[in-house]
Amino acid sequence: MSALQTVRDRIDAYCRQRLEESGIPGCSVLLTDREETLHEAGHGFADLAAKKPVTTETLFEYGSASKIFTVITVFQLCEQGRLNLDDPLTEHLTWFEVPTVGDRPVTIRQILCHMSGLVVGCDCAPNTRRGVWDVRHTPVPARPGEHHHYSNLAFEALGYMLEDMLGQTLEQILRSRILEPMGMRHSTAAVTNAVRPRMAVGYNPLFDERPRKPGDPIAPAPFHELRSACGSIATCATDLGLWVRMFLNRGRGLISEASFEEIIKPRTPTGTGAMYGYGLRLRDLEGGGTIGHTGGMVGYASDTMIDVEGGVGAATLLNAPGPVDWIATDIVKYGVRLLRALRAGEELPPVPAPLDPEIFPHAEECAGSYRSQSRSFDLIAEGGRLIMVHEGGRTPLLNDIRDRVWIPHPDWENQLMHFEREDGEVVAATHGPDFYPNQRYTGPTEFECPAEWRGFTGLYRSFLPWDTNFHVFTRRDQLIIVAPRCFGREQPLRPLHEPNLFGLGDETNPEWVRFDTVINGQAHRATLSGVDYHRMPPG
């Protein structure tokens, strides 16, 4: 067997393994060097009900990895002398308006590296021009140029700038300037009902109000048309071979090498150990730099990882239940590792071992007795596992990430459990509104929140296909928001300059939430960065 065939067999085996472990219905994978596609394959199902298999021409939503298409178009116009990266956005999109600190303008350059100070934004309507227009009404002024904050809305504004400048739809612009020159004949620059028959069905967790753990049921995700510059590409493994080779050949066929070098320069830290260029994440993989981007959509996930110096790249597309970009990342990392070894004539890395979610690397550190005012439990470390002993029962906890676990028990599954540390030592656990100090905790045990905050707590929902819901609760002296789709990530709410108005996280975060429509002491609407959610009754 040739070494290349071994590479193919191993990446395919790993894809099948990750599908089985995660419950993802299907995936498509691509491996290439500078000259040709080395491997492309489909695994699993594009449609579970119909048992329709994934092929290399099955379309998946590419998600935020689409942003680089917009970036390349901007650089094409810069090369033609029609744009400058330091132009204020309003110079070319005259109807755009947003309050900013110090009246500083939002520039094209800031948008490209997510330094605009604008909120993340979401597709709350098929046409998001209204959402871009409405940022003029934000109660929280933007701080352009100060901090990295990922913004889909800023890229949407950039897309409308291109449409107004060129007198075409974004779909027409990206098709004529990128897809057709690249020969990406299967791909489309707009997710529409017309292309839906060629797409894999997207899947989301059936119970979207709680974090999904492996094995939880899934259901077809809501389908929504998307034509905005934040993520409107639908593509397949076959076309991604052409796309990745364009990067491996430093922009050949689309932009100059000088423009390509500008795009891949590190600009801002993302806070996750990576740097951001223009529409690209710059990640280190075992001492070697890579470029690429993840993509998370409603029912889809993707990742693309390209080692330009090494001359290899990998991409994968998933019709994934919820936010599982990390699984796509695992696949492309392994693909790049295989190709690097192949080119170097080294021993090929074996297929990574299957995941065992019950193995928790920090089990010994988290063991102890935990007590709140209303209930208690013990955590016992046994053979790398962390066991919860509660009311006479034993429940093995499932590892999510460091210091965070799922609890597969009906009484505990609506929230993740987080562990808190002081000087590196685990001193407490939190679960939703509950705080559980252990025997190592030495801090205060009594806390007070403003009485009116109790009227803001609860579950809020909208018909938005993206983040369909979020929880708000008090814990200790904080008001906290958590959206289950976002990996269960919690953010404290900080009071702002108006009653019932809060910022999310620290002062570098432009996101905000306002509570109103108070009936019988409870807020019945929460507006999250301009999008309305409504209180759900308990039960």
Query: What does the alpha-carbon distance between residue 438 and residue 31 come to, in Å, rounded to a whole number?
Result: 49
Is 370 within a domain? yes
Assign residue 484 the CATH number of its domain: 2.40.128
* DSSP string computed for 403-444: TEEE--STTTTTS-EEEEEETTEEEEEEETTEEEEBTT--S-
Does the pLDDT value for residue 85 go beyond 80? yes
Does the pLDDT value for residue 342 go beyond 90? yes
Helix (H) or strand (E) holding 6: helix 3-22
Is 20 within a domain? yes
Which of 409, 437, 465 is at the close of a domain?
437
Q: Going edge to edge, which strands form the sheet with 393-396? A: 368-371, 376-382, 385-390, 393-396
- Residues 237 and 340 reside in one and the same domain: yes
Give whole-number Cα distances, 413 to 1, 410, 433, 535, in Å: 47, 6, 13, 21
Range of the domain at 379: 363-437
- Residues 479 and 519 reside in one and the same domain: yes
The answer to whether 358 touches 339, Cβ cutoff 8 Å, is: no
Largest CA distance in the chain: 73
Is 220 within a domain? no
Across 88-122, b (16+ Cβ under 10 Å) vs e yields bbbebbeebebebeeebebbbbbbbbbbbbbbbbb
Percent of the chain with pLDDT over 90: 88
Query: What does the alpha-carbon distance between residue 226 and residue 357 come to, in Å, rounded to a whole number?
Result: 35
Q: What is the mean pLDDT of the chain?
A: 95
- Residues 326 and 398 reside in one and the same domain: no
Segment 118-144, tens digit of pLDDT: 999 977 666 689 999 999 999 999 999
Segment 287-297, tens digit of pLDDT: 999 999 999 99
Assign residue 385 the CATH number of its domain: 2.40.128.50
Confidence of residue 323 (pLDDT cuts 50, 70, 90): low
**Strand partners of residue 525:** 516, 534
Helix (H) or strand (E) holding 108: helix 108-112
Assign residue 324 the CATH number of its domain: 3.40.710.10
Number of domains in the chain: 3
The answer to whether 239 touches 184, Cβ cutoff 8 Å, is: yes
CA 377 from centre of chain: 33
Query: What does the alpha-carbon distance between residue 355 and residue 442 come to, in Å, rounded to a whole number?
Result: 36
- Residues 383 and 286 reside in one and the same domain: no
Which of 315, 344, 373 is at the close of a domain?
344
- Residues 291 and 371 reside in one and the same domain: no
Q: Which amino acid is at 284?
A: D
What is residue 126's predicted lDDT score, i.e. its pLDDT? Answer: 63
- Residues 339 and 367 reside in one and the same domain: no
- Residues 428 and 456 reside in one and the same domain: no
Q: Which amino acid is at 484?
A: P
The answer to whether 10 touches 351, Cβ cutoff 8 Å, is: yes
Does the pLDDT value for residue 461 go beyond 90? yes
Which of 437, 469, 491 is at the close of a domain?
437
Does the pLDDT value for residue 488 go beyond 80? no
Segment 226-250, tens digit of pLDDT: 999 999 999 999 999 999 999 999 9
Give whole-number Cα distances, 480 to 110, 350, 425, 449, 534, in Å: 30, 43, 24, 12, 17
- Residues 431 and 503 reside in one and the same domain: no
Does the pLDDT value for residue 215 go beyond 90? no
* DSSP string computed for 120-151: -----SSSTHHHHHGGGG-SS-B-TTTS----
Does the pLDDT value for residue 527 go beyond 90? yes
Identify which of 324, 248, 288 has the alpha carbon closest to the alpha carbon of residue 34: 248
Does the pLDDT value for residue 378 go beyond 70? yes
Is 409 within a domain? yes
- Residues 242 and 325 reside in one and the same domain: yes
What is residue 124's predicted lDDT score, i.e. its pLDDT? Answer: 65
- Residues 428 and 325 reside in one and the same domain: no
Residues 6 or more apart in contact with residue 450 via CB below 8 angstroms: none
Residues 6 or more apart in contact with residue 264 via CB below 8 angstroms: 277, 280, 282, 291, 308
